Structure 1
Amino acid sequence: MTEKFKEVKESEVVMSELMLPSHSNFNGKIHGGYVLSLLDQIAFACASKHSRAYCVTASVDTVDFLKPIEIGELVTMKASVNYVGRSSMVIGIRVEAENIQTGEIKHCNSSHFTMVAKDNNGESLAVPGLILKTDDDIRRFAKSIKRIGMKKKRKQEFHDTDFISEEYLHIQELENVKIEK
């Protein structure tokens, strides 16, 4: 690692691509899987730019599809490093689609990818810290800390072995489910 700290803006990446019919699903909208592929590419670029190392996707923390993307729209993705740990980085990505005929821009997707820097032997590599200069930088860093805490809690609950099914029989009254034991 050559730099001890970097400003958020030093690692920002912007990528644009015209959406083609080959990117669409059976409903004529851009396929979510294709968007996920683009998100992974820009997360890699942003994390690698920050760390100056090869990076791998450790997790996709959130992907919120807010509005569909249409064929012929120009999609622009904006990625920045929101948080850094020792070797991990949370990359925040905003996706906007522009109707190139009308100029209308819509926010279509927000996502957070956790990327980890690796050396040539596949070992985790320390990354530069972040210099937070704006209120947005601070807000994104703080929200990332909160999101990481929630993720740890979900992971712990998922692996909890003290599950007693009788305690959950009431869910059939609240949800669209029928329990038959």
Structure 2
Amino acid sequence: MTNQDRGPDPEISGKPNSASRTTLSHIMTGNDTNLLGTVHGGVIMKLVDDVAGAVAGRHSGGPAVTASMDEMAFLEPVRVGDLVHVKAQVNWTGRSSMEVGVRVLAERWNESKPAVQVGSAYLVFAAVDADGKPRPVPQVLPETERDRRRYQEAQIRRTHRLARRRAIMELRQNRAAEGIED
């Protein structure tokens, strides 16, 4: 069992989702485009990682590093001139890990139409100390029904991540025991 598997540290006061909720906004320029003339997915992914890192750092009260990104979905293309808003919050916490949910919205810089969701992602961050070792984080305290739903969904994603990791490790051990080298 790792530190992350033990659950939140009861000696650290919890924090509500709203304490670390953050929005990062950025106007997309020609430097952000791919060969198709739309904004490169990697540019969006960097914004997602940046805002998620800020949220994780705020929630944990110190440095946090990206442990994984999963379920990055691109729903609509983003174009040059779009004003992109990347919104994030902590959905779930373990002992030293946090799942951060991110929504990506875009609107034309020169129109007054509502922003449209163009992407979403879930990232797991680990809080670390000055030596890079895991450190405890405050428990997230869901405030609304939406926050409670996100917390429950995050627990399901965590269960799936851990099961996938166990299955892969078991497969590798079995292949090694059979003398198969990868």
- TM-score band, normalised by shorter chain: 0.7 to 0.9
Structure-1 separation of matches of 2:136 and 2:27: 36
> Match of 1:149?
159
> Match of 2:128?
118
Q: TM-score, normalised by structure 2?
A: 0.85
List, as ranges, runs of 4+ consecutive aligned residues in structure 1 with deviation greater than 3 Å.
Answer: none
Structure 2, unmatched stretches of 5+, are: 1-8, 176-182
Q: Tell me which amino acid in the other structure corresponds to 1:84.
A: T
Structure-2 separation of matches of 1:156 and 1:128: 27
1:10 aligns with 2:10: no
Structure whose CA Rg is larger: 1
Moved more, 145-154 or 41-50: 145-154
Structure-2 separation of matches of 1:51 and 1:10: 11
Q: Which one scores higher on RCO, CA 8 angstroms, separation ≥ 6? A: 2
> Match of 2:28?
19
Structure-2 separation of matches of 1:133 and 1:37: 28
1:137 aligns with 2:159: no
CA RMSD of aligned residues (A): 1.7
Aligned-partner SS, 1:137: helix
1:37 aligns with 2:46: yes
Q: TM-score, normalised by structure 1?
A: 0.85
Aligned residues: 163
Q: CA deviation at 1:160?
A: 3.7
- Percentage of identical aligned residues: 33
Aligned-partner SS, 2:36: coil
1:94 to 88, 103, 108: 103
Aligned-partner SS, 2:146: helix
Structure-2 separation of matches of 1:51 and 1:159: 30
Structure 1, unmatched stretches of 5+, are: 164-181
